[in-house]
C-alpha cells in the first residue's frame, strides 16, 4: 500500500508541534500536502481546497477524522519541519528506487526560488542546488543555499549525500573548483566541469592547448547542425589528453581529458554568434561522449522549466521559516512521482487528472513510492 511505503521512507520526520496542542495527526498533514502538490496545489489555500474536495477519500484511508485543518494550520506545520530531516528521508527514498548504472550522468545545477524572499529584505531569496539523473529525469537530492554565490560550498555537501560510484558528474563553470573535483573522485565518481575565467591559469592553459584546432578552418567541415525553434545551431567537439596542458595542474585530482566545443548559432534577424566552451574531465572520453554529456547536462533546465511552468515555483510567494525549502522538496518529490507514472500525458495533464480524480492520484503514488526505476 502506498501509505505504508510513504510512512516507511518518511517516518523519521519529526512532528514539530507541541504535543498538547495537536488536533490533526502530523502524518495526515504531511501526506495530504504531498497529494495536493502532486495534483498541482501552489499554496496553502490550494492545499486545503484539495483536501476538502477529496475528504471522503482521505477518510477511507483513515485520515483527517477530525476534519480538514485550516490553511494556517497546514502552513505552520509544514513550515516548522526541519529541512535536514526531510532531505534525509528524500535521499533515502531515492536510494531505494533508483540505482545508478556505470557512466550515468548526474547534472548539478542551482535554481533561485524567486518568490521566496522576505518582503522586508529582497536579498533573502532562497537558492536551491539540485542533483538530477538525466537518463531517468529524476531529482536525486537538493540543498538550500542563502545566495547563489554559496553554490560552491553547498555542492560538496550535496555530493557527499549521494552515491556517485561509476557516475559522471557534470557541473557548470561556477563550480569548477579543485575541492569539488576531489570530492567527486573520493566518492568513486568522475567529473566533467565547465572551465571559464574563474579559473584563470587553468582556463588560459586549456584555451592555449586548443589554439591550433581553434584556428583550423578545415575542422569546421565536421560541424553537426540542427534546426529547432526558428534557429540553426552547429556544434563541433574536440578532445585532448590532459598531458598537453602547459603548467602544473596536479591539484586537479585525476584530470585526464580536455574538451572544446565550438558552437555557431543563427537566429532570425540576429547576427551569427560563435562561442567556444571548454571542459575538463577525470574520465578518458571521446569527442562524441563529451558532446553527448554536455547536451544531457542541460536537460536539467527542463526540470527547472516544469517547476516554473507546471508547478509555478517562481510565482510562489511563501517564504516564512522553512516553508519555501520544504515546499521545494515536496515539489521535487511530486515531480519524480509524476514522471514515474507511465500514462502518456504531460506533467500538467497528469496534475489535472490527479486534482479531479483520486484514482489517478493513487496510480501516481503507487508508481512513485513502490517501484524500482527500470533501466
All three cell numbers of 32: 495530504
Q: How confident is the model at residue 373 (pLDDT cuts 50, 70, 90)?
A: very low
| Same domain, residue pair 148 and 281 | yes
Q: Which of 280, 304, 328 is the last residue of a domain?
A: 304
Residue-wise pLDDT for 55-93, tens only, equals 999 999 999 999 999 999 999 999 989 988 888 888 888
What's the Cα-to-Cα distance from 107 to each of 63, 104, 214, rounded to whole Å? 38, 10, 27
- Residue 8 clears pLDDT 70, i.e. is over it: yes
- Residue 218 clears pLDDT 80, i.e. is over it: no
Q: Which of 254, 280, 304 is the last residue of a domain?
A: 304
Q: What is the mean pLDDT of residues 323-342?
A: 88
| Same domain, residue pair 259 and 167 | yes
| Same domain, residue pair 179 and 33 | no
- Candidates 212, 283, 205; CA nearest to 245 is 205
Q: Which of 257, 277, 304 is the last residue of a domain?
A: 304
| Same domain, residue pair 72 and 183 | no
Rounded Cα distance, 126 and 116, in Å: 6
The more confident residue out of 345 and 215 is 345
* CB neighbours of residue 39 within 10 Å: 26
| Same domain, residue pair 35 and 142 | no
Within a domain: 324: no
Within a domain: 76: yes
Within a domain: 333: no
Within a domain: 332: no
The more confident residue out of 218 and 225 is 225
Within a domain: 142: yes
Q: What is the pLDDT of residue 215?
A: 72
Q: What is the mean pLDDT of residues 177-193?
A: 94
| Same domain, residue pair 265 and 353 | no
Range of the domain at 358: 2-88+341-370
- Residue 276 clears pLDDT 80, i.e. is over it: yes
Within a domain: 201: yes
The highest-confidence range among 13-17, 22-26, 46-50, by mean pLDDT, is: 46-50
Within a domain: 361: yes
Q: How confident is the model at residue 99 (pLDDT cuts 50, 70, 90)?
A: low
Cβ neighbours of residue 213 closer than 8 Å, sequence gap 6 or more: 219, 238, 260
| Same domain, residue pair 115 and 202 | yes
Q: How confident is the model at residue 189 (pLDDT cuts 50, 70, 90)?
A: very high
| Same domain, residue pair 169 and 271 | yes
> Looking at the DSSP assignment, which residues form a beta bridge with residue 257?
241, 281
| Same domain, residue pair 81 and 102 | no
Mean residue pLDDT of the chain comes to 83
| Same domain, residue pair 250 and 300 | yes
| Same domain, residue pair 164 and 267 | yes
| Same domain, residue pair 289 and 346 | no
- Residue 300 clears pLDDT 70, i.e. is over it: yes
Within a domain: 288: yes
Q: Specify the number of domains making up the chain.
A: 2
Amino acid at each position: 500500500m502506498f501509505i505504508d511505503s510513504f510512512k516507511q521512507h518518511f517516518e523519521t520526520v519529526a512532528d514539530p508541534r507541541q504535543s498538547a496542542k495537536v488536533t490533526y495527526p502530523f502524518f495526515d498533514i504531511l501526506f495530504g500536502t504531498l497529494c495536493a502538490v502532486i495534483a498541482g496545489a501552489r499554496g496553502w489555500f490550494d492545499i486545503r481546497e484539495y483536501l476538502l474536495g477529496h475528504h471522503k477519500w482521505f477518510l477511507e484511508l483513515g485520515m483527517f477524522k477530525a476534519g480538514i485543518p485550516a490553511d494556517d494550520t497546514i502552513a505552520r506545520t509544514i513550515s516548522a519541519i526541519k529541512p535536514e530531516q526531510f532531505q534525509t528521508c528524500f535521499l533515502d527514498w531515492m536510494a531505494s528506487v533508483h540505482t545508478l548504472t556505470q557512466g550515468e550522468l548526474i547534472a548539478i545545477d542551482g535554481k533561485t526560488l524567486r518568490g521566496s524572499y522576505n518582503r522586508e529584505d529582497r536579498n533573502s531569496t532562497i537558492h536551491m542546488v539540485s542533483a538530477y539523473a538525466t537518463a531517468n529525469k529524476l531529482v536525486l537530492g537538493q540543498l538550500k543555499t542563502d545566495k547563489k554565490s554559496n553554490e560552491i560550498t553547498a555542492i560538496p555537501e550535496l555530493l557527499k549525500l549521494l552515491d556517485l560510484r561509476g557516475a559522471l558528474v557534470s557541473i557548470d563553470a561556477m563550480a569548477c573548483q579543485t575541492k569539488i573535483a576531489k570530492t567527486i573522485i573520493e566518492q568513486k565518481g568522475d567529473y566533467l566541469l565547465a572551465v571559464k575565467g574563474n579559473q584563470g591559469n587553468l582556463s588560459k592553459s586549456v584555451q592555449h592547448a586548443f589554439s591550433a584546432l581553434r584556428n583550423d578552418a578545415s575542422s569546421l567541415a565536421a560541424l553537426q547542425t540542427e534546426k529547432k525553434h526558428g534557429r540553426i545551431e552547429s556544434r563541433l567537439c574536440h578532445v585532448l589528453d590532459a598531458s598537453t596542458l602547459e603548467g602544473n595542474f596536479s591539484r586537479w585530482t585525476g584530470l585526464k581529458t580536455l574538451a572544446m566545443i565550438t558552437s555557431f548559432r543563427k537566429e532570425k534577424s540576429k547576427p551569427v554568434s560563435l562561442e567556444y566552451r571548454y571542459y575538463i574531465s577525470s574520465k578518458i572520453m571521446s569527442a562524441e561522449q563529451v558532446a553527448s554529456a554536455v547536451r544531457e547536462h542541460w536537460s536539467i533546465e527542463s526540470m527547472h522549466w516544469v517547476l516554473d511552468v507546471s508547478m509555478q515555483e517562481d510565482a510562489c510567494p511563501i517564504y516564512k521559516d522553512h516553508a519555501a525549502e520544504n515546499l521545494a522538496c515536496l515539489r521535487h518529490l511530486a515531480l519524480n512521482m509524476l514522471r514515474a507514472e507511465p500514462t502518456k500525458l504531460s506533467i500538467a495533464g497528469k496534475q489535472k487528472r490527479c486534482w479531479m480524480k483520486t484514482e489517478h492520484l493513487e496510480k501516481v503514488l503507487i508508481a512513485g513510492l513502490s517501484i524500482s526505476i527500470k533501466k
